[in-house]
Amino acid sequence: MAAPTMDRRSAADGTGAPAVQTLTIAKALNNGLRASMEANPKVIVMGEDVGKLGGVFRITDGLQKDFGEQRVLDTPLAESGIIGTAVGLAIRGYRPVCEIQFDGFIFPGFDQIVSQVAKLHFRTQGRIKVPMVIRVPFGGGIGAVEHHSESPESYFAHTAGLKVVACSNPADAYWMIQQAVDCDDPVLFFEPKRRYYEKGEVDTTAAPGPLFASRTLRAGRDVTLVTYGPMVRTSLDAAAAAEEEGRSLEVIDLRSLSPLDLAPVYESVRRTGRLVVVTEAPSESSISSEIAAKVQQECFYSLQAPVLRVTGFDTPYPPSKLEEEFLPDLDRVLHAVDRSLAW
């Protein structure tokens, strides 16, 4: 009798868990951290409330129970201390994963990140590596109070010596967190907090693409939309709405903010002739302005309209009752598309 074939949705590792699962971004991150901790006993998770509570957003739920208090550490409320301790652990051969509970709380640890984490490898002429991950839930849209809804990614993308990435869907969350843990360079890992509970398929047997690479999520011919993190879903929704009006938008998820992988963006803009960059962060001195400058430099003779940007406003993040006025939405994206096509 022929041997039974294994359904692609059955795990090949004997655990009984399906190889293809429908997960939220939050659960995908949890599973990815668990996989990294199982694969390498030197991986340590640390941060405020990451242990017994399982994290404010439950990203680390169950990890302390399964791996113990020596590997999942509840720290004091001191971001500078968290980062500084992680630097020492990384130098001694561990791979710490630090959680910054909310994006706006990262600034007490800013000095440690830009003065120590980013520079040790260079300062020691390569003798010391700093393989650590700093997880940062970022962006708005959750109705939180002050300091809980920031987009500080440009600060770190500007800092030589740091890698900066942002996931936008469960599959990327699962694989990118593991790749970040495996990276010998320090990685700022930005997670779109208002998308934590959106679901998608995750194939745990798939071969993931490179960590520091952008990805085209939707092909199009009229306008290129470039985005990352929480604005990926908004941009995809805008592309679907534009299709009903006969317009074809290409959507590219940057995924990596430093280094920027703009080769797919250049290729797309040379075909469409138009680019709209969509981010929650303010526009001044930002990742969006860097993209606009580089595309203008590399694709000048292909552009049929100026590069346009749809961003948060250049103001402090507003009170929660006003955040929907601050955050880019589908209408603002489509208005920029209209302006580009009308040029």
Which residues are tagged catalytic? 148
Phi then psi for residue 303, to 5 deg, are -70, 130
- Residue 110 tokens read as 């800013």
Measure the CA–CA gap between 19 and 100, rounded to whole angstroms: 30
Helix 170-182 to helix 25-39 angle, to the nearest 10 degrees? 30
DSSP three-state, residue 265? helix
227 and 279 in contact (C-beta within 8 Å)?
yes
Cα–Cα–Cα angle for 69, 75, 81, nearest 5°? 135
Distance from C-alpha of 279 to C-alpha of 135, rounded to nearest angstrom = 19
Pair of tokens at residue 21: 């699962």
DSSP code of 260?
Answer: B
Nearest to 272 by CA among 298, 243, 290, 248: 248
The one-letter amino acid at 325: E
One-letter amino acid identity for 279?
T
Q: Which two tokens stand for residue 143?
A: 């109705």
Query: Cβ–Cβ contacts within 10 Å for residue 42, how many?
Result: 17
Q: Report the C-alpha gap between 246 and 337 in whole angstroms.
A: 13
Contact by Cβ (8 Å): 257, 157:
yes
Count of CB atoms situated within 10 Å of the CB of 267: 13
**Distance, CA of 196 to CA of 56 (rounded, Å):** 12
Assess contact for 98 and 49: CB atoms under 8 A.
no
What's the length of the chain? 343
User: Which helix (H) or strand (E) covers residue 171, if one does?
Assistant: helix 170-182
